[in-house]
Chain A
Amino acid sequence: MSTAVDVKILTIDGVDVSARQDQTVLDVARENNIFIPTLCHLEGLTEVGACRLCLVEIKGSQKLFPACVLKVEEGMEVITKSDRLLHYRRTILELLFAERNHVCPVCVANGSCELQSMAQSQGLTHVRLPYRNPKLPVDLSHERFAADHNRCILCSRCVRVCAEIEGAHVWDITGRGIDCRVITDLDDPWGSSTCTRCGKCVQVCPTGALFDKSKVGVPHPKYPEFLPYLNLMRDGQ
């Protein structure tokens, strides 16, 4: 009879690490201070595996796997850094920068933007693709917050935090493909939507797409770290 083993041993970038069997490769890597880039992942929210930046190689497979949803396995050999992966990550970032209007100097999130710091950490120096420069709306109808769709990367963190943590499900995504856009309620103005004004979506937004109107012109750091704490407190009840 086999005994139930709930600890797995695997290697990440050649380092032996141990993990509980329900952990993902991303969790284990972060525990061991191995950096894997992510944009859609946020501790405390469900995973969607959409940004594709956390793709890693597994020895023995040609396929790439998103570390945020990849469960650990005994003896797994994970490679998080390779020329191929770096190239893919840079190209994905290029696609993001070219998709909408990411103009850092005039952005409220300049200096505290996850997209910006991701590009720096991945050594992205220029974008080879033509900028699409779409004309997108800015929603200023809310009394405290604003949504600038030009800076949205559709990571869906706002959608998830609103549905899963706040329980309001005000945010959702409309449209298809390149025409996707986050909306409040049934594409109503944010100000007249059923928004509870909790501001969680603003705190989890990785870019300057959702921001606090009072922070325009001053540094606008975001604090998404409250989520795991909130979940812990709720689980404790």
Chain B
Amino acid sequence: MRALTELDPAAVVDQIAKSGLRGRGGGGYPTGLKWGTVAKATGSPKYVICNGDEGDPGAFMDRSVLESDPQRVIEGMAIAAYAVGASKGYMYVRAEYPLAVSRLTTSLREARRSGFLGNNICGTPFNFDIEIRLGAGAFVCGEETALIASIEGKRGTPRPRPPYPAVSGLWNCPTLINNVETFANVAPILRNGPEWFASMGTERSKGTKVFALTGKITNTGLVEIPMGMSLREIIFSIGGGVPDGHKFKAVQTGGPSGGCLPEEHLDLNISYDALIGAGSMMGSGGMIVMDDTSCMVNVARFFVEFCMTESCGKCIPCRAGTAQMYELLTKICNGEATHQDLDLLVDLCDVIKNTSLCGLGQTAPNPVLSTLRYFRDEYIEHIENHRCPAGVCACSANNAKPPEPAAELVEVQA
């Protein structure tokens, strides 16, 4: 905070740009560029929004930051507000995080009392205050335009971009939206200098990233690693590998928008671009490890179901398309599908990916596409032999569905 009195706003933007920090919410948009755009945007007032609507299944990075160090996020937002010329901020937190909300409320009160928020912060002419807004349990409100609609008190549905929020956001004013983790990175960058931050990580993905390790792994929990570390190191060195003598099968990154990566990609060095290249994405940092007892078709079905129930229903491909995908995947899981159904599924994935309005729909097919890319044989097995290789799906576990393969299941499980 003290450093602010010695830097002008443009210098702060410059420091962030130099650090190479990229948005930690999933997209990986260069933070410095975003700040610069909002700073240059004409129109006032300007707003700063912190996106704490963490909704990916099995992800709790933002929650840990908000619960353990809310001051750091508040500081990051204040610095951002100074850099872009905003005087009002909103902290959008999901209502499912009551502890985070109460600690944030306390920290905001303390920050105001100590003169770090409010009018004339630290004796400078800079004014900034933050208001908390609670999410109402909609995953899609993590999408920036839907989040803005939600703060405005409207139905939380996305709108087409452009115009981007940086130009026309909250109440049609220039708005800076960053994720909790992005804001948490700001103060250390200014304190230690952009070179310090840029010294970690890979060429295009700097710094560190927090991942939430869950699933079939010995040590679950949050890990903060420098970008560029391989998946193998995270899962086997830090995570302690797959327990109970089972064999590693896949790791799912990026939440419902991401994909499953198989064993041959374990040596992939984590960065925004490498993960996208492999058919997954960084996302907000969920990492779910699966072993040989997981059926990849069923996993894809789980994530598609998530997207289906969380779709806002505004655009047709996402609303009706994810529901059709879910039906097709259920059919495959039940061992009742044909090759035509699989072709139709692939076609639907292409349509939904390319025609949906927002990121939720555009990425909803990713779990299917990535499992089809790496585990196509499991889909084929369900279709041709009406059998689930992992013994998870109803087609083999239930005696009711095709009776013959049920005997094989006993072998599989033994």
Q: Hey, which chain B residues are within 8 Å of A156, CB to CB?
A: 314
Q: Does A95 contact B (CB under 8 A)?
A: yes
Please report which residues of chain B, range 295-312, place their CB below 8 angstroms from some CB of chain A when the two chains form the complex.
Answer: 308-312
Asked whether, in the complex, the Cβ of A64 is within 8 Å of the Cβ of B313, the reply is: no
Instruction: Point out the residue from B155, B344, B347, B356 that lies within 8 Å of A52, measured CB to CB.
Output: B356
Asked whether, in the complex, the Cβ of B355 is within 8 Å of the Cβ of A178, the reply is: no
Given A177-B310, A177-B313, residue A154 in contact with residue B319 (CB < 8 A): yes
Closest chain A residue, CB of each to CB of B311: A177
Asked whether, in the complex, the Cβ of A52 is within 8 Å of the Cβ of B312, the reply is: no
Asked whether, in the complex, the Cβ of B313 is within 8 Å of the Cβ of A132, the reply is: no
CB distance from B18 to the nearest CB of A (A): 30
Among B97-105, B109-117, B322-330, B378-386, the one that faces the other chain is: B322-330
Q: Does A138 contact B (CB under 8 A)?
A: no
Instruction: Point out the residue from A66, A129, A177 that lies within 8 Å of B344, measured CB to CB.
Output: A129
Q: Does A135 contact B (CB under 8 A)?
A: no
Q: Does A130 contact B (CB under 8 A)?
A: yes
Asked whether, in the complex, the Cβ of B314 is within 8 Å of the Cβ of A48, the reply is: yes
CB distance from A123 to the nearest CB of B (A): 16
Closest chain B residue, CB of each to CB of A155: B316
Q: Does A175 contact B (CB under 8 A)?
A: yes
A10 to B312 CA separation, bound complex (whole angstroms): 35
Given A95-B316, A96-B316, A98-B320, residue A176 in contact with residue B310 (CB < 8 A): yes
Closest chain B residue, CB of each to CB of A96: B316
Asked whether, in the complex, the Cβ of B308 is within 8 Å of the Cβ of A177, the reply is: yes
A91 to B324 CA separation, bound complex (whole angstroms): 12
Q: Hey, which chain B residues are within 8 Å of A235, CB to CB?
A: none
Given A48-B159, A91-B348, residue A178 in contact with residue B317 (CB < 8 A): no
- Which 9 A-B pairs give the minimum distances between C-beta atoms? A180-B313, A177-B311, A49-B160, A95-B320, A99-B320, A178-B323, A91-B351, A52-B355, A69-B160
Besides the known contacts A52-B315, A92-B355, A173-B313, 15 further A-B residue pairs in the complex with CB atoms under 8 A apart: A48-B314, A49-B159, A49-B315, A69-B160, A88-B354, A91-B347, A95-B321, A95-B324, A156-B314, A172-B155, A176-B312, A177-B309, A177-B312, A177-B319, A178-B311
5 contacts across the A-B interface (CB closer than 8 A): A64-B355, A95-B317, A95-B320, A99-B323, A177-B311
